[in-house]
Amino acid sequence: MVGLTIDSNGMPQDVHVVKGVNANFDEKAVAAFQQYRFRPAIYRGKPVAVKINIEVGAREVGGNPDPYSASKP
């Protein structure tokens, strides 16, 4: 889980790991969110900063895309 503040211009600030997976994954998640651009939140018609947490999902590359499907011999 990554926490950050989206400022009134839609720029990510204070990007940090709230709940990590491993150092490599966490570092890449933070780097990715630092590159994002968001639409700022609007309060009473004006853009405002907000703090949010975003849950990040990942899956293993090269594995079975559907782990619940039956494998064929």
Residue 70 lies in a domain: no
Residue 48 lies in a domain: yes
Angle, vertex CA 67, rays to CA 61 and CA 73, nearest 5: 100
**Section 55-70 average pLDDT:** 62
Which among 4, 8, 1, 3 has a CA at the least distance from the CA of 41?
8
pLDDT digits (tens, 9 = 90+) for 7-60: 999 999 999 999 998 899 999 999 999 999 999 999 999 999 999 999 987 665
Q: What is the pLDDT of residue 62?
A: 60
Q: What is the pLDDT of residue 73?
A: 47
Residue 59 lies in a domain: no
Residue 11 lies in a domain: yes
Residue 35 lies in a domain: yes
Residue 61 confidence (pLDDT) above 90: no
Residue 33 lies in a domain: yes
Domain limits for position 29: 2-54
pTM score, two decimals? 0.73
- Which phi and psi angles does 34 have, rounded to 5°? -70, -20
Q: What is the pLDDT of residue 21?
A: 86
Sign of CA dihedral 36, 51, 59, 70: negative
Nearby residues of 17 by Cβ (< 8 Å), 6 or more positions away: 1, 2, 3, 26, 29, 30
